[in-house]
Amino acid sequence: MNPSGAAAQGPGARSHPLMTIGEVLGHLRADFPDTTISKLRFLEAEGLVEPQRTASGYRKYSWDDVDRLRFVLTAQRDQYLPLKVIREQLETRDAGPRQRPALVAVGSPAEAAPDSRVARADLVERTGVGEPMLAELEKLGLVSSRPPGWYDADAVIIVEAVAGLCRHGLELRHLRAFRAAADREVGLFAQLLAPVVRQKDPAARARAAETARELTALSQRLHAALVRAGLDDALGR
């Protein structure tokens, strides 16, 4: 994948020394704060990136490797693409002209907010819900803050979706069914992931996280298709 040598092309410079896995992690952490060294090793084991190795066996990454990792992590974070689909897109890029392939979503495009942490006041302002509704959503268990009082991107998505459903006439009491269905799904998936999660190997935990992402994407596709099919029947289409 990468030519051997002591330097690789880098942004803003003609060449740049090859990087250690720790240096690569430093470059990626700003945009992907949940990335770990175990995650990078897992992606290598899956054949998505192939860093060079020194005579002592240490990994050395080029800027092209970093670009591939950014592509993979973006596809996972923003569009929940499974590794199989990401691998196919990278193979298409490698086989053709040097251009970045478009990310093709599996299911709906990602709606995640760009900020990983949102203050309560910002959440209210961004979503347009009032404090009473937010408090009720917390009471129903649909959304919760993380210490010390921040809300993550999923909380933003949940509140925005609830606000939209309520504009169409749904009442907050109707949302208990959504919570119950999600809890059943979490319980089922947790059972599937349990054998891997119990392993102490960091690579196993990375595999569990990847499997969880793929299960989430497949569940979203299944749910959307079932709802569309049911509404088609209800509308006589």
The type of residue at 41 is R
Residue 72, burial from CB neighbour count under 10 angstroms (0-12, 13-18, 19+): buried
> Band of the pLDDT at 105, cuts 50, 70, 90?
very low
From CA 8, how far away is CA 10, in angstroms rounded?
6
Instruction: Report the range out of 13-27, 96-110, 164-178 with the highest average pLDDT.
Output: 164-178
Q: CB-based contacts of 27: which residues, under 8 Å, 6+ apart? A: 19, 66
- Where b means 16+ CB within 10 Å and e means fewer, 157-193 reads bbbbebeeeeeeeeeeeebeebeeeeeeeeeeeeeeb
* C-alpha to C-alpha distances, 225 to 6, 51, 106, 107, 221, nearest whole angstrom: 51, 40, 12, 9, 6
Region 50-54: mean pLDDT is 92
The pLDDT of 85-114, averaged and rounded, is 59
Q: Whole-angstrom Cα distance, residue 43 to residue 30?
A: 19
- The pLDDT, as a whole number, for residue 29 is 87
Mean pLDDT, range 187-211, rounded to an integer: 84
Fold of 111-170: Multidrug-efflux Transporter Regulator; Chain: A; Domain 2 (1.10.1660)
17, pLDDT greater than 50: yes
Average pLDDT, the chain: 80
**Higher per-residue confidence, 62 vs 80:** 62
Does residue 13 surpass a pLDDT of 60?
no
Specify the higher pLDDT residue, 93 or 1: 93
SS3 121: helix
The answer, yes or no, to whether residue 3 has pLDDT greater than 70, is no
Rounded to whole angstroms, the Cα distance separating 181 from 184 reads 5
The single residue listed with the structure tokens 């102490």 is 200
Confidence of residue 16 (pLDDT cuts 50, 70, 90): low
The structural domains of the chain, with segments of one domain joined by +, span: 7-95, 111-170, 189-237
17 contacts 6 by C-beta, under 8 angstroms: yes
What are 133-161's pLDDT values in tens digits?
999 999 888 998 887 788 988 888 899 88
Say if residue 85's pLDDT is above 60.
Answer: yes
CA atoms within 13 A on the CB side of 207: 15
Quick check: do 7-95 and 111-170 share a fold?
yes
DSSP 53: E
pLDDT for res 65: 93
CA-to-CA distance for 117 and 123, rounded, in angstroms?
Answer: 10
The β-bridge partners of 13 are: 10
- The tens digit of pLDDT for each residue in 20-35 reads 999 999 999 888 888 8
State the CATH class of domain 7-95: mainly alpha
